[in-house]
Amino acid sequence: MNKKLKTYKIIWLIVAFIACFELAAKEKPNDKKMLELRGADISYYWQQKELGVEFKKNGKIVPLPQILKEGGTNIIRLRLWVNPKDGWNNLENTLAAAKELKSYGFALLLDLHYSDSWTDPGQQKKPEAWKNLDFVRLKRKVHDWTSEVLESFVQNGTTPEYVQVGNEINSGFLWPEGKVVDDLGFGKFSQLISMGCAAVRETCPESKIVLHIANAGNRDFQLWWLGNIKKCQVDYDVIGLSYYPVWHGKNIDKVAANVSLISKQFKKPVIIAETAYPWTLKWNDEQHNLVGMESDLIPGYEATAAGQKKYFKALCDELKKTKGCIGIFWWEPSAVSYEGFPSSMENQTWFDFGGNYNGTGDVYLD
């Protein structure tokens, strides 16, 4: 074999080796552990679009769902109120939002509030149209409204993968009948919420039912609340927790430990249904921001874009290691302030005051 031919053979062998190595690398399964549900609640988005709010990535205007999709988000949470005064978050608008999100390939978590406005541990006001119903008719209304809503989603081609029956229901819902103040309060509350759960089972049997409470840092409360739910034999699939360091404690490890404990204790997967953290303590409107002081922060996680991303990565990394945790949702990462749209969450978004994406959501791909 002459030298020239020998040289060609060596080069060919090197090229073939490199090609085989690259093919093997491509075919090797991605062993990077990722959370099953990588979520965001963007219920404000369609209201913002009507006002002309624009979001940018790398200096270019890009639709918000596309930015989130490219960053690894795979499920969107949408809230639904019964008869909101301003029309937003009603059935018609939420169905349209769901249709758009499904076109991007997102899964859906539908957050049913059973109210005309916000509900949380401190307020669970009945819808105005339901306020004079006696308890028997109120139970029937919970069932029928839930069923009608979900049937609309089915007909819309947007059946939600997850349905949240009530929002931050630490103190029950549909006050005063469904208010929980002690063990005895679970009697009527469990009857009401069971009607909603039954409607989900009947109308969307493949959807998973989420029960959502706040205070991911309080293990004793979680054990008490979930223990009573178990005693009352409420039928559900997933435990949802809210975790905001300003209210629920600044120890991420403790939150992860609580998630592991309750998942094992109650044999249910757990999601962090809401979280957020500031990228600045400044403001861009006249609306009071929910988080605005240095004392609100976790030591070592400054209120900068880098600090926000560090917080989210630390939380996600802990949850990835936590047995029983299947996902997390950032609450309103796009709630930037705008003319006609003041926002108390403007400094906890994934966008600066000019609507430029800061990359925090890309933690989902890490």
Catalytic residue set: 168, 274
Euclidean distance between the first and final Cα of the chain, in Å?
51
Q: What is the DSSP string of 189-210?
A: HHHHHHHHHHHHHHH-TTSEEE
Tell me the CA distances in angstroms from 75 to 238, 271, 273, 324, 362, one per residue in order: 15, 12, 11, 18, 14
Task: Find the helix packing angle between 135-155 and 186-203, rounded to 10°.
Answer: 30
Q: Which long-range contacts (CB under 8 A, 24 or more apart) does 101-106 make?
A: 101/65, 101/76, 101/158, 102/157, 102/158, 104/65, 104/66, 104/69, 105/69, 105/74, 106/65, 106/69, 106/73, 106/74, 106/75, 106/76
d(CA 93, CA 64): 17
> One-letter amino acid identity for 267?
K
